[in-house]
Amino acid sequence: MLLVSAILIGVASLWYTDEFVSKLADEERKKVELWSKAMKELASMDVENSSKDFNMAINIISSNETVPIILVDNDSINRYRNLDSVKAEKPGYLEEQLAIMKEQHEPIPIYISDDHYQLLYYKKSTLLVKLQYYPIYQLGIISLFIIIAYLAFSSSRKAEQNYVWVGMAKETAHQLGTPLSSLLAWFEILKSQGADEATLKEIRQDVSRLETITERFSKIGSTPKLDEHNVVEILTNAVAYLKRRVSNRVHFSITTEDDTAMAMLNAPLFEWVIENLIRNAVDAMKGEGSIKINVTTNKQTVLIDIEDDGKGIAKTKQNAVFNPGYTTKKKGWGLGLSLVKRIVENYHQGNISVLKSEAGKGTTFRIVLKKNK
């Protein structure tokens, strides 16, 4: 709406100013023609017998205080008006102004006699020139207003999104805290009553998992601490956890040129990123296929490519997949990849993007992390 309004205002301003400038240009032309007639009358007038007409001609000539003119007689400059008198003393100034006038308007001939005439040249007045440039200045101001308004709106929208993210994360961590404490207490009771060790082990693992989830959500609402971690180890742990919880028809592989690749990470949050990406890949492959993770390094960054052979992402949707609410699942909320992007870019100062994707052949996401300086 702001853009359309700016265009309408700009078009209306240009049209109105163009009409106004055209009318003013016509008025200036008429003024110069009247001036030329007064000059002609003055040249042929009997001053003693026509003092009234003489005074009128002088008044008409004197009334032109805005339009710059030069009177040429036999290819030489006879007189000028409304030009800089100081510059006019310098060689070449009047000739330069005359050349400008010849480009702008056709001269007005003043016939003194049948075989003698003068040429009156003129150019646009300062006011007319300013009016011609006025729409450009106006459009510049309108554009600046649109940019400022857009930036203010965008900043407000991002602040609102951040508030929602933080509020949701804190509330989730709070809601998980109460039943988690109760589960820990029940675990200890079952342990004291001699419950089956295998069962207790599974319960303990799930409780630990809930503790990890609670920790992740609590970190979303604050600035997490980043430490130097071995990226390959974190990837291996995340894959090992997910292997037991997805279809056995999904095959995982991790390749790297550097087993000791280190990057600045918050381990719980980064594991969450990997889990989200892998779960999305499993869904895209409908529980059957292969997921390949490749880690490469350079002097400043660690590159992590996560490739699946699922249904792929259309080119028009590759940027939208990170927007909150975007999902292809009937029951999805569309927050997974948005959360991933937030964790990687806001908290780790890294980057995540769709490296490549082709319909029916799969997708590769690339994560770029900074090394410790």
**End-of-domain residue from the set 175, 206, 237:** 206
What's the CA angle centered on 271, arms 270 and 274, to 5 degrees? 90
Same domain, 115 and 185: no
pLDDT score of 367 more than 90: yes
Q: pLDDT value at position 49? A: 47
Is residue 51 situated within a structural domain? Answer: yes
Domain with residue 33: its CATH number is 3.30.450
Domain with residue 347: its CATH number is 3.30.565.10
Is residue 214 situated within a structural domain? Answer: no
Q: pLDDT value at position 255? A: 94
Average of per-residue pLDDT across 368-372: 88
Same domain, 191 and 288: no
Tell me the H-state helices in the chain. 2-44, 51-63, 85-88, 93-104, 126-192, 197-220, 231-243, 267-284, 336-341
pLDDT score of 52 more than 70: no
Confidence of residue 64 (pLDDT cuts 50, 70, 90): low
**How far apart, in whole angstroms, are the C-alpha atoms of residue 290 and residue 264?**
28
Same domain, 197 and 247: no
Average of per-residue pLDDT across 168-191: 79
Q: pLDDT value at position 201? A: 84
**End-of-domain residue from the set 206, 239, 273:** 206
Same domain, 365 and 227: yes
What's the CA angle centered on 321, arms 365 and 302, to 5 degrees? 25
Same domain, 118 and 168: no
Same domain, 265 and 334: yes
Same domain, 194 and 72: no
> For a pLDDT cut of 70, what percent of the chain falls above it?
86
Confidence of residue 328 (pLDDT cuts 50, 70, 90): low
Structure tokens at 65: 């205080």
Same domain, 235 and 263: yes
Is residue 215 situated within a structural domain? Answer: no
Of 110, 119, 34, give the one whose Cα is nearest residue 72.
119
Q: How far is CA 360 from CA 90, 106, 250, 286, in A?
A: 78, 70, 17, 12
Residues 6+ positions from 329 with CB-CB distance below 8 Å? 283
Instruction: Say how many domains are in the chain.
Output: 3
Average of per-residue pLDDT across 238-244: 88
Could you tell me the pTM of the whole model? 0.54
Is residue 329 situated within a structural domain? Answer: yes
Is residue 213 situated within a structural domain? Answer: no
User: Residue 313 in contact with residue 277, Cβ under 8 Å?
Assistant: no
Same domain, 227 and 358: yes
pLDDT per residue as tens digits for the range 338-357? 888 888 998 899 999 999 99
Same domain, 118 and 139: no
Same domain, 110 and 143: no
Residues 6+ positions from 121 with CB-CB distance below 8 Å? 69, 70, 71, 72, 98, 101, 102, 105, 107
Residue 266 lies in domain: 223-370
Is residue 108 situated within a structural domain? Answer: yes
pLDDT per residue as tens digits for the range 83-115? 888 888 888 888 888 898 888 888 888 777 777
**End-of-domain residue from the set 124, 159, 178:** 124
pLDDT per residue as tens digits for the range 133-155? 777 787 788 778 888 888 888 88
Confidence of residue 321 (pLDDT cuts 50, 70, 90): confident
Confidence of residue 47 (pLDDT cuts 50, 70, 90): very low
Is residue 211 situated within a structural domain? Answer: no
Same domain, 66 and 149: no
- Is the pLDDT higher at 165 or at 181? 181
Is residue 172 situated within a structural domain? Answer: yes
